Amino acid sequence: MVGVVILYHPDAVVLIENIKTYINLLDTLLVYDNTENFSSELEAAVGAISDKIIYKHFGQNQGIAKRLNQAIDYAVQKGENRLLMMDQDSSFNDGDINKYLGYISENKIERVAQFGVNCQPEFTPISNTPEKAISLITSGSVLAIDCIQQIGMFDENLFIDFVDTEFSHRITNRGYVNLQFTNIVLKHSIGTRVEGRSLVTFKKSLRIIHSPIRVYYIIRNGLYLLFRNKECTSVQKKDLKRTLMVVKNDFIYNPQIFKVYKYALLGVWDFLTKKMGKFK
């Protein structure tokens, strides 16, 4: 099985420890670096983990979707039928990658195009029974390469946010299945956490916020999928609206609040003017 992890200004120490949690179960790991500046130290550190690793620096950030498509192309060329997709800040708990791949090999449910794990156990109850999901996050998911011809590649127009959501929806709409093993909990970082006071209870708690540019992509791409994706079903739209709410904390608690509002408006404007791809 081939794996791919996509980098953008990674913490090298954290990255190396994360890779070690799954590298042993792979035949090849593609490390695709979107960071603008090349680091020979990072290349050497990553290469020292295992001879299974192929590191490639591109010199520019061309988004997640493009790199995932390149990894799919590699898997097809090598005749591999599975692709593990990981984020630089994601890792497995001890022994979980073995269990996960065991569940995949033992699976009896037909037409599964994508297997996934649980990245938010506080919202997704843990169960020993696999569940069909509306959408899966890219990180930790295993893609069945032989389904790609029927489903299509990742949408590079989205660049980053909702890339996994759109792809998951397309899987379902093509008659395939997203299967989630909720008892495999992925260690995964979602945004930055800051302390904020509730406007209702006035109690303080940790809130997830995003960089202003991420707010731009979330809003632009979310609106695109809601209003311009003709395949999006009512159930999928409901799920999209729920996911879009992740930016609500940014409008209240983000320390760069004025920049957040600026980029949010730019996201709406670019949606209306049909500007997709990388923000310019």
Residues 46-77: tens digit of each pLDDT: 999 999 999 999 999 999 999 999 999 999 99
Q: What is the pLDDT of residue 243?
A: 87
Q: What is the pLDDT of residue 192?
A: 65
Per-residue pLDDT averaged across 222-228, rounded? 95
| Cα gap 248→227, rounded to integer Å | 20
| Cα gap 170→188, rounded to integer Å | 24
Does the pLDDT of residue 197 top 70, yes or no?
no
Residue limits of CATH 3.90.550.60 in the chain: 2-187
Q: Compute CA distances 65 → 43, 54, 249, 260, whole Å.
A: 22, 19, 26, 24
Q: Confidence class of residue 95 from pLDDT cuts 50, 70 and 90?
A: very high
Does the pLDDT of residue 202 top 70, yes or no?
no
Q: Confidence class of residue 190 from pLDDT cuts 50, 70 and 90?
A: low
Q: What is the pLDDT of residue 161?
A: 94
Does the pLDDT of residue 219 top 80, yes or no?
yes
- Asked if residues 175 and 111 have their Cβ atoms less than 8 Å apart, the reply is yes
| Cα gap 209→256, rounded to integer Å | 10
The bridge status of strand 141-144 relative to strand 82-87 is antiparallel
Q: What is the pLDDT of residue 205?
A: 58
| Cα gap 33→56, rounded to integer Å | 6
Q: What is the pLDDT of residue 220?
A: 97
Does the pLDDT of residue 210 top 60, yes or no?
yes
Both structure tokens of 224: 């695109």
Both structure tokens of 90: 């994601």
Q: What is the pLDDT of residue 208?
A: 80
- Asked if residues 56 and 32 have their Cβ atoms less than 8 Å apart, the reply is yes
pTM for the model:
0.93
Q: Which helix (H) or strand (E) holds 239?
A: helix 234-244
Q: What is the pLDDT of residue 181?
A: 98
Name which residue leads in pLDDT, 246 or 97.
97
The bridge status of strand 91-92 relative to strand 53-57 is unpaired
Q: Confidence class of residue 193 from pLDDT cuts 50, 70 and 90?
A: low
Both structure tokens of 246: 């992740």
Does the pLDDT of residue 194 top 80, yes or no?
no
Q: Which helix (H) or strand (E) holds 120?
A: none
- Asked if residues 60 and 33 have their Cβ atoms less than 8 Å apart, the reply is no
| Cα gap 187→91, rounded to integer Å | 5
Both structure tokens of 147: 């389904």
Does the pLDDT of residue 204 top 70, yes or no?
no
Range in 4-18, 28-42, 104-118, 228-242 the model is least confident about: 228-242
Per-residue pLDDT averaged across 223-235, rounded? 93
Per-residue pLDDT averaged across 137-153, rounded? 97
Q: Is the dihedral of CA 45, 138, 75, 183 positive or negative?
A: positive
Asked if the 2-187 domain carries CATH number 3.30.70.1560, the reply is no
Does the pLDDT of residue 195 top 60, yes or no?
no
Q: What is the pLDDT of residue 268?
A: 97
| Residue type present at position 271 | F
- Write down the mean pLDDT value for the chain: 93
| Cα gap 145→82, rounded to integer Å | 6
Q: What percent of the chain has pLDDT over 90?
A: 86
Per-residue pLDDT averaged across 177-205, rounded? 74
Read off the DSSP letter of residue 78: T
Q: Which helix (H) or strand (E) holds 131?
A: strand 131-132
| Cα gap 249→257, rounded to integer Å | 10
- E strands of 120-175, at which residues? 131-132, 141-144
Name which residue leads in pLDDT, 190 or 165.
165
Does the pLDDT of residue 199 top 80, yes or no?
no
| Residue type present at position 107 | N
